[in-house]
Amino acid sequence: MAAVTATSNTTTTTARAVGAGSPTADLAPLQIERRALGASDVRIDIKFCGICHSDIHFARGEWGEIPYPAVPGHEIAGVVAAVGSDVTGFAVGDRVGVGCMVNSCRECENCQAGNEQYCIAGNTQTYGSVDRDGTFTYGGYSDHVVVDQDFVLRIPDEIPLEEAAPLLCAGITTYSPLRHWNAGPGKQVAVVGLGGLGHMAVKFAHALGAEVTVLSQSLRKQEDGLRLGADHYYATSDDATFTALAHRFDLIINTVSAVIDMGAMLSLVKTDGALVNVGAPSEPLPVPVFPLLMQRRTFAGSGIGSIRETQEMLEFCAEHGIAADIEVISADQVNEAWERVLASDVRYRFVIDNSTLTA
């Protein structure tokens, strides 16, 4: 049995991974170095990693130039393999997760207030950031990762690791705005788009007690939407939807990462209601101002959630029997999975079985 004692060492470790060698290359097996286990670090054997649309934008350089190779993945679920000498909250064998960030400045007003996701200096992203040791961060499409204990989440026993992985991005990204804008009993909540983010938003909004409507391009996934917890399901391709639902919603969560008609969406929001964007289109989104000022509507955005709130979300999932609907794939199926993500052909999240990494 592995000793549950503090470990520290000064050597880097080599990780098996899959990554992209250029903006246009397919993902392929490769090896990366992980930093030596620091005193406050946790080394995690990654068991599963979810595939997020952001992974694709990032690796293809669509959100700005990046150094290569690029190893994405910020929906990490695994087991603690080693802990540094100052680690108090985690022991070898614990079930843990890592989401979109692995550090922050810890000094700005947002970090001090426990909103490190909005660190004014910019949080250190799980992939695509410069880490505190000056190296570029690599994500969870790999067999292990070294992360500061303050950015490691505890995964409750009730949630299978593979179904927990997508909670670390898709889960918290939708849970946080639902909580911030008070989704709950007596509230009308709409979710635009029923994909990886949308299916989690429906589950959470329903569990929080709101009346939930899905607004999807077509009625193709209607049966699923109702099964996931929606009370109503409408097609945005049908103009009658916008007449029927005018001024209906206290809160709309827009999960679509493409340019859609914001004027039409805003017309569905009640006076003083909010339309909150969590999808991230590469192109600017045109927003007409009249529908905002005529009804004092809010047009907003929300990004992931704090570590404290992410832990709260995981506990909420355990309590309410919530997890992601997933399709587990092997590492050699990642390129195919990305094409299917781009075609919205997944119900509702691909998760890589990291034991299949071969590099």
- Distance between CA 100 and CA 104 in Å, rounded? 12
Residue with Cβ nearer Zn ion (75 or 211)? 75
Residue 52 has which token pair? 């997020």
Residue with Cβ nearer Zn ion (113 or 246)? 113
Instruction: State in angstroms the smallest separation of the CB of 97 from Zn ion.
Output: 13
Residue with Cβ nearer Zn ion (142 or 188)? 142
Per the listing, tokens 């709409």 go with: 190
Residue 237 has which token pair? 């391709």
Per the listing, tokens 């007409």 go with: 288
- Distance between CA 179 and CA 115 in Å, rounded? 14
Instruction: State in angstroms the smallest separation of the CB of 82 from Zn ion.
Output: 26
Instruction: State in angstroms the smallest separation of the CB of 110 from Zn ion.
Output: 6
Residue with Cβ nearer Zn ion (119 or 313)? 119
Residue with Cβ nearer Zn ion (54 or 277)? 54
Identity of the residue numbered 267: S
| Distance set, CA 357 to CA 35, 41, 68, 78, 353 (Å) | 20, 24, 19, 14, 8
Instruction: State in angstroms the smallest separation of the CB of 75 from Zn ion.
Output: 6
Residues that bind Zn ion in the complex, under the rule CB under 5 A: 52, 54, 104-105, 108, 111, 119, 169
Residue with Cβ nearer Zn ion (255 or 267)? 255
Instruction: State in angstroms the smallest separation of the CB of 107 from Zn ion.
Output: 6
Instruction: State in angstroms the smallest separation of the CB of 72 from Zn ion.
Output: 9
Instruction: State in angstroms the smallest separation of the CB of 40 from Zn ion.
Output: 17
Residue with Cβ nearer Zn ion (107 or 319)? 107
Instruction: State in angstroms the smallest separation of the CB of 139 from Zn ion.
Output: 10
Residue with Cβ nearer Zn ion (82 or 172)? 172
Cβ atoms of 245 and 213 within 8 Å: the answer is yes
